[in-house]
Structure 1
């Protein structure tokens, strides 16, 4: 990611040729990690799992998979996402409560790795499209900008992804198959929000210092992140982004009509 100072925006550079060959996952390296950094990175990993699992299915060709990143979600990216969500469901709160819990640290790191493996093909979506300029304007960590947006982006996307959010509810142990799909989906979204709250991540853009006067600019910048907006399961427009920001600023977590 590079920062364009003239445009005031972050620009992502993605290519299969920039992929790491090996990832070394050593939880002991994170034991002295400040709580705020743990919370911000944990929130980001959680958002990766949610957005990859609920993103668009693009049915990529073999050539797409060989030459492009973010070719769309598929059965394998869903396997990684399910694994990561299950691990974070218990480990994220445990790490927040006891930063020296090595087993929980191991699980959060493996979950973050699973999230990375999932988004490398499935990609991220609306929350990431909007966060870039929010972070630039407020000088806040990426993960905290994401946590302040994710509850409202999930609610916006819910009409197009009831089944996926319902499965998240079951994976996280807060939904019963006997409940209606929509009830399960609501429970899943609320559990994600509960995890964010438990680690101390902000849940609204007002607390980040974003002004309503900037909503139009943020929406314009989000629309330039076409790789991310194109992956959002529900069509994103400038008006939709402004509505998401308004809800986040007000902390309005009522349900969008399904």
Structure 2
């Protein structure tokens, strides 16, 4: 029976809680002796980071720090970091930072293990086997990369960002310490948290795939299922409770913990269920507007939910219950209002997209089939164009009429 089918792919160990970064040395020494630590310039100067490095050395590890991570992870930076690390001969990689640092570390660990170029691994299931043990320590609450099978990079030869997706990329251990997010600025906190909520909603409302014995082995993202649903709903509840608080009072550790746990649960959900149309459409939108991924997917999310509304009634009712709302009809306006309050642009026009480029965006999004096929209500090019018109103009009426026609 479909409702009893589920899959979970996750780190071997997830350690969550305030102060748990202090477990790093003990965790690392069980996995390796020569650590390559991947971070960025800002974090490399952070006192918490220095304390963690001292802890590694106290526990007998030889440490080399790679602090050259750049936003969006240009492919060539991962190649040069892997080459520069060869003389250190690392047997463990540790990532400390936001989504870019975690994705950079995944890519470097992959190249150190299997060689070749990142381009050899673009797409799904191209990684031939396990990579070096990886410990992921997020300092933002957003991408969920500490528990997911995905690394997203930018390649100057391609317009859109590229992804490497393989269960082998899931970190061995995730250490999630909400105290590390206390220094995250309000605007970044909002964008990262909105990204996490979008992950949870897209995973929870993803399509149901036909269950076959090969499903989990032939795809990274297998659609909505009984196990991912539990994580997605919990994530929605936690993020709904904590996200606005954490944007208005960044020193609220309880809210920081809710949002970080929500982001991790959302990663566990979408790492197996996958994301859908909001992510597919954001890739070309982000390429044109040069806006943050989280701002783009969150801007699109209420419009995509509106498009899907005729087929996600049961999910909206479950979401309403987990969010403490009266009924499913209240969910989409509530999420749109939350995003507006924390500063997410309400329309693609506000995000800075040029109206002349809507056709190009529709065409590009159409080509990202693994995400479009994961959407619960089918989307062809004309459907995407209709959705884009509504999201650009801010006119929900364009989609409401459409939903009536579908019923």
Structure 1 residue 112 corresponds to structure 2 residue 258: no
Output the CA distance in 1 between the equivalents of 2:341 and 2:257: 19
Are the aligned partners of 1:9 and 1:132 in contact in 2 as well (CA < 8 Å)? Answer: yes
Distance 2:317 2:332 in 1: 9
Distance across 2 between alignment mates of 1:150 and 1:202: 11
Answer yes or no: is 1:210 the counterpart of 2:356.
Answer: no
In structure 2, the partner of 1:135 is 286
Please, what TM-score do these two structures have when normalized by structure 1?
A: 0.92
Separation in structure 1 between the aligned mates of residue 320 and residue 199 of structure 2, nearest angstrom: 16
Q: Secondary structure at the match of 2:403?
A: coil
2:249 corresponds, among 76, 80, 98, to 98
SS of residue matched to 1:23? strand
In the alignment, structure 1 segments of 5+ residues that lack a partner are 176-183
Structural mapping, 1:216-255, within 5 Å: 216-254=359-397, 255=400
Structure 1 position 68, deviation (Å)? 3.5
Q: CA deviation at 1:5?
A: 3.2
Structure 2: distance between partners of 1:53 and 1:162:
12
Separation in structure 1 between the aligned mates of residue 226 and residue 234 of structure 2, nearest angstrom? 13
Look up the match of 1:178: none
In 1, the alpha carbon distance for the partners of 2:211 and 2:173 equals 25
| Greater relative contact order (Cα < 8 A, sep 6+) | 1
Q: Secondary structure at the match of 2:364?
A: helix
Superposed CA RMSD in Å reads 1.5
1:186 pairs with 316, 329, 333, which one?
329
Distance between the aligned counterparts of 1:253 and 1:24, measured in 2? 41
**1:3–1:11 Cα contact (<8 Å) kept:** yes
In terms of fraction of residues, the more strand-rich structure is 2
Aligned length: 250
TM-score (norm. length: structure 2): 0.59
- Asked if residue 197 in structure 1 is aligned to residue 340 in structure 2, the reply is yes
Instruction: Describe how 1:1-258 pairs up with structure 2 within 5 A.
Output: 1-66=152-217, 68-175=219-326, 184-254=327-397, 255=400, 256-258=402-404
> 1: CA distance between counterparts of 2:313 and 2:261?
27
Tell me the alpha carbon deviations over residues 113-159 of structure 1, each in whole angstroms, 9 at most, x when there is no partner. 00000001110000000000101100100011112111111000111
Bigger mean CA deviation after superposition, 228-237 or 17-26: 17-26
Structure 2: gaps (5+ residues): 1-151
Local SS of the residue matching 2:161: strand
- 8 Å contact 1:27–1:105 — kept in the other structure? yes
Residues 235, 140 of structure 1: alpha-carbon distance in 2 compared, 3 angstrom cutoff: same
1:59 Cα shift? 4.4
Corresponding residue SS for 2:208: coil
* Counterpart Cα distance in 1 of 2:154 and 2:343: 27
